[in-house]
Amino acid sequence: MKHFQQSELLNSLPKQFFASLVQRVNQYVEQGYDVINLGQGNPDQPTPEHIVEKLKSAAENPINHKYSPFRGFSYLKEAAASFYMREYGVSLDPEKEVAILFGGKAGLVEIPQCLLNPGDTVLVPDPGYPDYWSGVELAKANMVTMPLREQNGFLPKYEEIAEEHLKAAKLMFLNYPNNPTGATATNSFFEETVALATQNDICVVHDFAYGAIGFDGQKPVSFLQTEGAKETGIEIYTLSKTYNMAGWRVGFAAGNESVISAINLLQDHLYVSLFGAVQEAAAEALTGPQDCVKELNELYEARRNTLINGLQSLGWEVTAPKGSFFAWLKVPEGFTSQTFSDYLLEKAYIAVAPGVGFGTYGEGYVRVGMLTSVERLTEVVSRIRELNIFK
C-alpha cells in the first residue's frame, strides 16, 4: 500500500509526552502486574448525577439534533458569565467576552494561531503543560521559557526575563493552580502580571483548569479578578476538573473582547459547535447545585493529606500542593526524574510522570496525580516503604 508522507507541520510538532508513558504502563498491565497509575491527569470520579440527567433529557429534544449556532447557544455563555459573577465577582458580557471551547485544551492550542505570526515571541512557564508547546509550534512562533522554581513558590520572576524578550513578546501563558507543581498564585502576583503585560503590550492567557481545587481553606484566585485583567488578556476555564466532565469536551474562554472575537473567528472555520445537549448539561453544571464541587475538593484534600503525610513519614522531604490534584515531588539523591520514574514502575509498579517531560526546570521532580482512592494511595506509601530508599 502506498505510504503518503506527513506534512512538515505535523513532523515539526513536539512528541506527545504522555503517549509514551501510557504505552510503557500498559506493557506492565498486560503482563499482569497490579500497576497503580498516578502518571496521568484523568479525573477518576463520575460526573454528578444532576448534570448527567440534564444531558439525558436534552438529548431527547429534537432542537439538539440539528447544528447548534456556530458560536454556541446564548444560554451557555450566559451561564458562564453568571458563574464568574457568583464565584469571583467578575462581570462578563456573555456575547462579547465569552467563547465556547471544545475543552480547555482546544482553546490553549488555538490561541497562538489566533494572535501570532511566524517568528513572534511567546512566554511559556517551565515546567508547564506540554500542549502549550503544540500551539506555539502550530503558529510557528518562538518560545521563551519562564523558570518556575520552588524557592519562588513556582511563580515566574519577571525581572529574570531579558528586556529584548519582554519587548518582543506578544503572548504569555500562565497556569494557577499549577500543573504540574500544585502551586497557587496570589493577588499581588496577578497585579504584577497585569502591570507587566500593560507596559509591554502582552496578551496574558491564564489556564484556570484547576480553579476549583484549592486546599487549607484557600480558594484559588482568578486572573480576571485583578483590576485591568480584561484589558490585558483572557482566562480559559474547563468543566473537566470542576465537574468531572473530562470526556464531555466543554470549556470556555473569558475576558478581552478582541481575543474572544479572534477565537470565535478561528473556530468558525474549524467547527460548527458543540452538541446542544452537552451545552445544556454544561449550563446546568455552571448554574445548578454546587455541593458536588465542595465535596470533590474535600476528596482531593483527603487524598493529598494521606499521600503527603505518608511519604513524609518515610523520611521523604516532600511539599504538600496548595491546589490542583497533582503533587510535585523531589526525586531522591542519585536519581533523575526519568530514572526514578522507571525505578518506581519496575520495582513497585507505581507509575508517575517524570518532571523533565514538563520542561527543563522539571528535572529533579516527578508529578503524581492524586486520582485514585485513599486506600490505593496508602498502598503507594507502603510499596515505596518496602523499597527502603529513605533511611
Give the per-residue pLDDT at 70: 93
Of 248, 265, 287, the position where a domain reaches its end is 287
Residue 220 inside a domain? The answer is yes
Residue 113 inside a domain? The answer is yes
Give yes or no: residues 315 and 355 share one domain: yes
Of 287, 322, 349, the position where a domain reaches its end is 287
Residue 375 inside a domain? The answer is yes
Give yes or no: residues 111 and 163 share one domain: yes
Residue 327 inside a domain? The answer is yes
Give the per-residue pLDDT at 224: 98
Task: From first to last of the 391 residues of the chain, give the pLDDT tens digit.
Answer: 888 999 999 888 888 777 778 888 889 899 999 999 999 888 999 999 999 999 999 999 999 999 999 999 999 999 999 999 999 999 999 999 999 999 999 999 999 999 999 999 999 999 999 999 999 999 999 999 999 999 999 999 999 999 999 999 999 999 999 999 999 999 999 999 999 999 999 999 999 999 999 999 999 999 999 999 999 999 999 999 999 999 999 999 999 999 999 999 999 999 988 999 999 999 999 999 999 999 999 999 999 999 999 999 999 999 999 999 999 999 999 999 999 999 999 999 999 999 999 999 999 999 999 999 999 999 999 999 999 998 7
Q: Residue 66, Cα to own-chain centre: how many angstroms? A: 31
* Residue labelled with grid coordinates 493529606: 305
Task: Residue 274: give its domain's CATH number.
Answer: 3.40.640.10
Residue 3 inside a domain? The answer is no
Give yes or no: residues 205 and 298 share one domain: no
Residue 317 inside a domain? The answer is yes
Task: Residue 323: give its domain's CATH number.
Answer: 3.90.1150.10
Cβ distance 260 to 81 under 8 Å? no
Give yes or no: residues 194 and 143 share one domain: yes
Give yes or no: residues 128 and 251 share one domain: yes
Give the per-residue pLDDT at 241: 97
Burial tier of 11 (Cβ tally within 10 Å: 0-12, 13-18, 19+): exposed
Give the per-residue pLDDT at 86: 98
Give yes or no: residues 120 and 265 share one domain: yes
Give yes or no: residues 345 and 301 share one domain: yes
Give yes or no: residues 38 and 74 share one domain: no
Of 258, 287, 316, the position where a domain reaches its end is 287
Give yes or no: residues 21 and 151 share one domain: no
Residue 2 inside a domain? The answer is no
Residue 186 inside a domain? The answer is yes
Handedness of CA 98, 104, 105, 108 (dihedral sign): positive
Structural domain boundaries, residue 103: 49-287
Cβ distance 172 to 204 under 8 Å? yes
Q: Residue 156, Cα to own-chain centre: how many angstroms? A: 17
pTM value is: 0.95
How far, in Å, CA of 294 to CA of 292, rounded?
6
Give me the half-sphere count of Cα atoms (radius 13 Å) on the Cβ side of residue 26.
6
Give yes or no: residues 306 and 347 share one domain: yes
Give the per-residue pLDDT at 15: 80
Give yes or no: residues 265 and 319 share one domain: no
Question: What's the total number of domains in the chain?
Answer: 2
User: Beta partners for 366?
Assistant: 329, 354
Give yes or no: residues 257 and 335 share one domain: no
